[in-house]
Structure 1
Amino acid sequence: MAALRTGVAGVVGLAARMGRLSVSVSSQVTQPSLHTSFVTAFSHFRLTPWYASLHTSSSHRGLMEFFDNEKNWGETEVKVGRSWRIEELRIKSNEDLHKLWFVLLKEKNMLLTMEHACEEEYQLFPNPERIDKVEESMKNLEDVVKERNRAYWLLETGEDGEHHGEIGTDSLGRRRFIRYREHTVPYWSTGRPWRSRETPSITKFSRLMREKKFLEKRRALRRIRDHVCMLLRRYPHMDLDVLQKKYPEVNVKALRQQKRSLGHHVHNIA
């Protein structure tokens, strides 16, 4: 009994020092019976919470948010509406669009989860076009946001403010326009070493590619030059200015003086 009384007094002192709980001991606790356990004695305390520092939110169902309503389980058809049109989204505020985006994202995650669950259980996924409707709504919403951003940047800076891409080097060492894409993390944060494109195989491939393009360009120029010479042989009275405007890759007046432009007639000038 003395040990129980000592333990109760220690709990009361600890709660008083914490300042978060006000403890009042009833008269029955001062002289507990011999058969009173610690749980029974502790039940005599009246704990008053400190409401000023207590904040709670609404309850959630956890992982069940990733699944459809139970009344739709096993159904062959689920009644759904149409997708959001871009005209309807244009009249909404930015805050409403922000909320609607996460509602659609949550709905898409739920539909993909249900589709995977149906495939695992060899069941028919009802109304698979729901995923297409959600994706169409998300695309329309993203187009509306891009329209507003483009209008804002054009008004403020005179540019659209969109970063489409840049001229860079691909994995084969070729210079081309590379469009920007979304990535989870940048390449320098992945922990994997960045592979350099200045390898002997890439250098050889780039040299052969440049040689191939040069030969193709030279053959195309030769075909144009031969075609112009053929026109000058057959039609010696052609307007050289019009011919030069149509084929700016070659010098028509210089080709007119060459031997290959001579025809079997008396109108040759060479």
Structure 2
Amino acid sequence: MESIFKFSKVFVSLNSFNIVRNKSANLRCICTSSIKNDLMEFFDDKKNWGQTEVKSGRSWRKEELRLKSNTDLHKLWYVLLKEKNMLLTMEQESNDQVRLFPSPERIDKVEESMENLEAVVRERNRAYHMLETGQSGERPGKLTTGPFGLKYYYKMVEHLIPKFMNKKWSEKHQFYKPDQDVSRFLLKYREKLYLNKRRQQRRDFNHVIGLMNRFPNMDMQALKEQYPNVDIDKAKKSRKYRGDYVPT
């Protein structure tokens, strides 16, 4: 009886081993190698060659990308990158053949989708680092003054060589030093900005008067919201404003 029991245990163990081996063999049978495509992956579908317009969908929005997992965003990034490479190749080929590139707005849609995807990933990274370390995790930086006296945001980078010994860094990043020539440049630059601002205010002022002359019954509150820098009461007192006169 004991021998029969031992034989049955050995038989069960052999059967289980065969089942596992068959399962692994079946799994190996369904495995496939990665698909290798030729250089035609860099070109659009042949049915779109010579077309004047190619229909395409809209770009990905941030609220849609926020619903996807990190793995899906990683896959989608490479799909968009591949699409962008294909579109840029087709655009260059069309220019070489002196032909019209159909639907060039597709490149703008892909670039907008990639920008939105990158913004969503940065949001997640920032939230994760704020939760774990209390910091944003972004590259630190500061607002500095360039060699011409203009402000810009400088992102800090780690270097192996100290600052006073790093000649390449010193040649590339020149900061503001008090100089008479720079002072004269800043004076003329600010004067130019001031004159441009005055011209823009004058154009908006005359445009508002023209709107009030053409549409005397328009909503003044909406006009103030659209042009907050224009004094509506002053525009009504101007000699260019014709009041209730409506041209025939």
If asked which structure has higher relative contact order (CA below 8 Å, sep 6+), I would say 2
The normalised TM-score by structure 1 is 0.46
The normalised TM-score by structure 2 is 0.49
Q: Please identify which structure carries the higher helix content.
A: 2
